Structure 1
Amino acid sequence: GARERKLELKKIRDQEEEERKKVLDLEEEKLAAERRREQIEKAKQLQYYETDRVRTFHSALLLTEVLKERDLQIEMKKRIEQMRQTDENEERQRYQEAQNEFYKTEQEKIENKAKDRANLAKYHLAQMDQRKTQHIQEKQKDQQEGDEYRRLAEQYALEQLELEHFKKVTQKDTKTMYDKVLDDKQKIKQMEQQIDEEEDDELRVYAEAKKKIARLRREKELQAHQEKQEVRDHMIGYLGSLQKRAEADNDTQIFRARAQKEAKDLRDEQEKLEKQQKMRESITKHRFETMKRHEAEREMEEREDAEMRRKKAESDRLFLLYQQEKEKQRIQDAQVTAEFHLKQAQERKDRQRDLKASEMDEIQMDRHMNEVEKQQYQDYTGRVISYMEENGRNTYPMKRVVTDEIKRFDQLNHAYKKTDTPINGNGEKKPGSQDKKTLDETKKHLGFQWDIPNK
C-alpha cells in the first residue's frame, strides 16, 4: 500500500509540474508575441518616417530648429558686440604694442642686411684685387716661358745649321773618295786589258801581273774601307758631341720626341695593316655566316608557309561545317522562339484580363489606405506642432508643409473618385474610366511602378 501511495503522489507531482510548465510556455509565448508585435510596430514606425511626406515634414521641423538656432546666434552676436566694445581700448593698446615690436624687429633686420651687404662688397673687392694680381703674375710667367721657348728655338736652328754644314762636308769627302776609287778601278781595268793583250807572249808575266793586280785591289779596298771607317768614326764622334751638348742644354726632348714620333708612326702603320687584315677576315666570315643563316631562314619560311596553308585549308573546312551547323541551329531556335512568343502573347492577354478584373478592388483598397494615412499624418503632425509651439518655436514652415500635404491627399482622393466607375454588362468600362494615362500616373503617385501590357 505504501508503494502505491508513493507512486500516486509522484504521478500527482508530475502532473502539477507539467501544468506549471504549460503555464510558463503560454506566458513565454505571449511575451514573445508581444515582443514581435513591438518590433513590427517599431519597423512600421521607422518605415513611416522614411516616406516622402514625413521626411518633408521633418525637413520643415529641422528648418524650425534652424530658425531657433539663428535667433540664438543673433542674440549671441549682440552680446559679443557689447563685450567687444568694452574691450576695444585694451585690444587697441595690445595691437599698438605688437606693431611697435614688429617695427623694431624689422629695423634690426634691415640693419643686419646692410651690414651683410657691406661685408660682402668688401669680400668681392678683395677677390677682384687677388684675381688681378694673379692675372699679372700669370702674364709675366707666360712671357718668361715665351722667351725661353724662343731661345731654345734659336739654339736648335743654329745646331741644325751646323749639322747641315757637317753633312755637306761629309758628303763632299765621300764623293771625293768615291771618285778616287772609280779612278783606281778604271786603272785596274786598263791594266787587265793590257795584260790580256800580252797574254799570248808572256804567260809568266801575266800570272805575276795578275797577282800584283789582286794585291793592289786588296790594298785599295782596304784603304777605302779604312777611309770610310775614319769618316764614320768622325761623324759618330761629332754627333755624340752634339747630342751631349743638346742634353746639357735640355734640348734632348726634341730629338727624343722626333724618334718617338717615328717609332709611333711605324707602330701605328703596322697596327693599321693588322687591323685591316683582321677586318677583311671578319667581313669574309660574316658574309659566309649571313648567307648560311639566310638559307636556313628561307627553308624554315617555306616549311612554315606550307604548314600555314595546310592549317588554313583545315580551318576553312571546319568553319564551313560550323556555319552549316549554326544555320541549322538558327532555324530550330527561330521555330522555338516563334512558339514561345505565341505562348507569351496568350499569357499576356490572360494576365491583362485578370488585371482589369482586379483593378477596381485595388482602387477601393488604395482609397481606404489613403484616408487612413491622411488621418495618421494629421495626428502625428498635430502632436509635433503642438509640442513645438509649447517650446516657443516658429511653426510656420511645418504648418505650410502640412497644408500642402493635405491638399495632395485631397487631390489623390479626387482622382480615385474619377477612376471609381463600375464595369458594364459587356465587361467594358465606361468612357470616363478608360483614361489609361491618368490611371498609370495615379499608380505612380501611390508608389506602384509596374507597367500594364497594352491590348
Structure 2
Amino acid sequence: MVIKTLPVPSTKPPGNNPLASKRRPLHSLSASCPPDNRLEQHHLPDAADLRRMCIITKTDLNRIYDNLDRRQRDKDAVRQEIERKKEMADRSAQITKQWPNTIIGARERKIEMKKIRDQEDEDKRKVVDLEEEKLAAERRREHIEKAKQLQYYQTDRVRTFHSALLFTEVLKERDLQLEMKKRIEKMRETDENEEHQRYQEAQNEFYKAEQEKMERKLKDQENLAKYHRAQMDQRKSQFVQEKQQDLKEGDEYRRLAEQYSLEQFELDRFKKLTQKDVKSMYDKALEDKRTVKQMEEALDEEEDDELRVYAEAKKKMARLRREKEVQAHQEKQEARDHMIGYLGSLQKRAESDNDAQIFRAQAQREAKELREKQEKFEKQQKMQESIRKHRFETTKRREVEREMEEREDVEIRRKKAEADRLFLLYQQEKDKQRHEDALVTSQYHLKQAQERKDRQRDMKASELEEVLLDKHMNEVEKQQYQDYTGRVIAYMDENGRNTYPMRRAVADEVQRFDQLNQGINKAESQTNENGEKKPGSQDKKSLEETKKHLGFQWDIPNK
C-alpha cells in the first residue's frame, strides 16, 4: 500500500469550479478512498490529517505512471521503427547495388552509356568547331587581304594608274568604234544601191497602181452620174404628187374654215342672249340692295335716339363730377389756411425762446474761452519745464560721449601702432619667403631647360628613325607598285592594247618616288648633322640667354 497526500478540498460548491470536475476522477480511481464527510478530525501519530490523505494500490500507481509516460514511449517507438526501416533500406541498397538485372542497375548503365555518348558528341563538336574556326580564320584572312587590296586600289598613285588603264581601254574602244564605223559606211553604200533599185521598182508599181485607181475613179463617176439622173427623175414625179396633195389639203382647209365661221356666229348669238338675262338679274339685285339699305337707315335712326339719351345722361354726370371737385378743393383750401395760422403761432412762440437760448450760448462760450486760456497757460508752463530738463540731460550726455570718444581714440591709436608693427613683421617674412621661392623657381626653370634639351635630342632621334622608316616604306611601295603595274601592262600588251598612257603614268609615279627618296635622304643628312653637333660655348651662351629670357636677372649662388 502507498499513501499519497492530497490537497485540502475546497468548501465551495463544485458546480462552477472547473478544478473540482478535474479532481473528481482522481477520487474515483481508488475504491478504498471514499470521501470523508465527518466533522471530527482523525490524526495519525505523525500528526497527519487523514482527510487529506488517499490510499491507492501499486497497480493504480503504475497505471498513472503509464498514462503520464505514454506519449514519450509512443515517440520513442516511432523513432525506433523509422531507424529500423532506414537501416533495412540501407542494407538492401548495399546488397542490390551491384546487381545488373535490377531497374536501378539498368538505369545506371543507361546513364553511363549516355555520358559516354555525350562525351563522344562533345569530342566531335570540338573537332568540328576547330575546323570551322580554321575555316573562319581563312575566310577572315581572305577578307583582310581583299580589304587591303581595295585600300591599295584607293591610293592616289593606283587610282592614277587605273585612270591610265581606263584611258587605254577607251583608246581600244575608240579604235573598235572607228573600225565599226568604216564597216557601217561600206554596208551603207551597198544598201544605198539596193535601196535605189528597190525605189525604182516601187515607183513603177506606184504608177501602175495610180493608173488603175484613175480608171476605177472614172467608172465610179459614170455610175454616180447615172444614179443622180435617176434621182432627179424620181424627185420630179414626187414633186407632182406633192403638189396634187397640197391642192387636196387646201380644199379641205377651206371647208373647215367655213364650218368654223358658222359655228362662231351661232356662239355669238348665244352669248348675246345670255348677256340680256344677266343684266335683268343684276337690276333685280340692285333693287334688293336699295331696299335693304332703306331698312338699315331706319334702324340707324332708332339707334341715334338712344345715343342722344345716353349723351344727355353723360353730360349730367360730368356736371355733378365738376361740382364735387370744386367742393373738395374748397375743403383743402380751408385746411391749408388753418395749418398756416397754426404754424404762425408756433413761429412767434419760437422767437421768444430763441432770445433765452442766445444768452445761454454766450455765457457758455465765455466760460469755455476762460477755461481754454487757463489750460493753455498750464501747458506752456509744463513745456518750459520739459525744455529745461531736456537741455540739462543733453548737456550731461554730450559730456559723457566726449569722454568716451577720447578713450576710444586712445585705444584706436594703440591698436593702429600694434597693427603697423605686425604688418612690418609680416612684410619681412613675406620678403624672405619671396626670396626662397625665387631660388626654388630658378632651379625649377633650369631643370626644365635641361629637360627641354633632352626632349629635343630624343625628338631628333625619333625623327631620324621615322625618316629611315619612311624611306624603307617608300622603297617597298615603289617595288609593289612596279610589280603590279608591270603585270597589268604585260597583260594589256598581250591583248593588243595601247599601253602608252599606262607607261607614262608609271614613269610619272616612279619619278615622284625618286623625288620623295631624295627628300628623305636630304632630311636624313640634316638630322645626322644636327645629331652629331657637340655641345660647346654656343650651348653655354644659349643657356645664359635662356636664363635672361626666363627673367633671371640676379646671380644664383652656388651651394
TM-score by length of 1: 0.35
**Higher relative contact order (CA closer than 8 Å, sequence separation 6+):** 1
Higher-Rg structure is 2
TM-score, length of structure 2 as denominator length: 0.29
